[in-house]
Chain A
């Protein structure tokens, strides 16, 4: 199991799967919507990230009968949700520190 670096695309993919399972194309669109069109993933980038997340057991495939391969859905595992919460806490802390630093500089 490899350690995962949570880059912005990976974070957005995890956030996309946070509320409910999504298939590949829905993830692409959701990532684009969440980032206001700033992050547009290619299929190569998306499936590279999904493969790493699957290997790290951060996400899993949703087993559904009669689902074509193109509509294969993914969802967060408990491990993935925990790691996402840790990452959000880290970002919150960073934002708080950054806000304080910038405010102090402006005074």
Chain B
């Protein structure tokens, strides 16, 4: 159980794991020693509670990492801040590529199955298979993603060059007092 707990700790974000992982293991070991003294039912309940608590805790930490709770919504903040504090985890690219490859492979497999099934329903007629192959499809999708990324980067770069981000430091009160014209 202790080894399983140690493995499940890897579900937590690395920063959280390095901060609390060792401590959690020590507390778990102490709690497990206590649970062993009780009957089998209590020990089973303890194991189930610990595993569900750990998985739920890891999920909650990941959600917290993705969502930025400490920033007020832009609509209420009255300030426009160009600095983004959000960063995708490094593993995101790998996971997205795997998911994308899975989707494309599924499409290819479905196309192959569709081609192998004999045309039994005469009213509709044969469904023409899409002439996709794996590599060109991947290239087209990756190209599209790169293009979208480049456009997004260009927009952000243009906004940055325009000096819009300096509005975050703009204080209307001090500007008015130091030399701005006031209207009676």
Contacts and interface: CB of A to CB of B under 8 A. Distances in A.
Contacts of A3: 69
B86 to A, nearest CB: 15
A43 B60 contact: no
Given A40-B49, A69-B22, A70-B22, A46 B70 contact: no
29 contacts: A2-B69, A3-B69, A24-B24, A25-B31, A28-B31, A42-B53, A42-B54, A42-B57, A43-B27, A43-B53, A43-B54, A44-B24, A44-B50, A44-B53, A45-B53, A47-B20, A47-B23, A47-B57, A48-B57, A48-B61, A50-B20, A51-B16, A68-B26, A69-B22, A69-B23, A69-B26, A70-B27, A70-B29, A72-B23
B50 A43 contact: yes
Contacts of B31: 25, 28, 43
Interface string B136-160: 0000000000000000000000000
A93 interface: no
B125 to A, nearest CB: 57
Given A2-B69, A28-B31, A51-B16, A43 B56 contact: no
How many B residues are at the interface, by size bracket?
A: 20 to 34
B52 A42 contact: yes
A44 B23 contact: no
Interface of B (DSSP majority class) = helix
Interface string B42-71: 000000011011111110110000000110
Interface of B: 16, 19-20, 22-31, 49-50, 52-58, 60-61, 69-70
A4 B50 CA distance: 24
A1 interface: yes
A82 interface: no
A45 B70 contact: no
A87 B20 CA distance: 27
